[in-house]
Amino acid sequence: MMFQKTLKQRVKFSGLGVHSGCATTLTLVPAPEDTGIVLCNATDKTQCFRIGAVVPEVAMHATVIKANGWYVSTIEHLMAALRMLDIDNVVVEMQGNEVPILDGSALPFVQGLLDAGFQEQHAPRKFLTPRELLRFADDKGRVIEIVPANTFSISYTADFTHPLAGSPFLSVDLSSDFFIDHIAPARTFGFLEQLPFLRQHKLAQGSSLSNSIVIGQELLNDLRFPDECVRHKILDLIGDLGLLPYRLIGAVTAAKTSHNFNRLVTEHYCQHPEQWTTVEIS
């Protein structure tokens, strides 16, 4: 039987929000069995919510959760790290409203969590999978399909048109080790020509070459992988699917998705929980 895990000790992350440009500090605190992942405003502990109980907001270029008069933005990289390292119970105390972008990937979160260490607990770990195939699609060609399974895999097709963005397709079986080595290091990316528009709309205020792959007439960064951009799309999808109440297992096929489209999965769970089932894996 797989058992729940929390952290052995507190771990802190500080940095700028990629969109707000504001400084933020997160303190991740060990939590008892069946707590889940809980986000709290460090300056007002009444403003808390548990992941899986709130549907993400419609927002541009980030995943945003809002409840109890408080919101948290750009949570996807942190959630991907927590889910893929199988951390079931933790309280995230936030000073600020946007999770820091750090180097633009999930790797700094992974490294910090590994350094903090894990404490196995006594309650069995729960996974979540649909009872039957779920399909989300629109007239723009965006698709997510989830087939019930007892493992986790993603086949992703991006809509890249720029030749420097690399291969638009990648299919992966997602173990924790594979995630750490091959998905977590993939950084957020953007196109130089879009930067004025983003800044005009108060986005990408904290974006820089230290935390973003920038694609212009040439690449302004050295890539960590030839297909780093599609790997980052998978990272974002993992983080957005991490907003379900438990770690998802299933075979996922996705194409051309965005944060706003990914949110449909959590929305479906909140509206139709009877179409999902929890699983304990031995």
Q: Which residues are catalytic?
A: 259
Closest by CA to 18, choosing from 228, 168, 237, 195, is 195
Contacts of residues 45-52 at CB distance under 8 Å and 24 or more positions apart, as own/partner, are 50/245, 51/79, 51/242, 51/243, 51/244, 51/245, 52/243, 52/244, 52/245, 52/246, 52/266, 52/269
Token pair listed for 8: 């052995």
d(CA 49, CA 62): 18
Give the pairing type, strands 250-255 and 11-16. Answer: unpaired
What secondary structure, in 3-state letters, does 80-100 show?
Answer: HHHHHCCCCCEEEEEECCECC
Answer for the pair 118, 238: CB distance below 8 angstroms, yes or no: no
Q: List, in order, residues 6 or more apart from 222 with CB less than 8 Å away.
A: none
Q: List, in order, residues 6 or more apart from 229 with CB less than 8 Å away.
A: 158, 160, 165, 166, 186, 189, 213
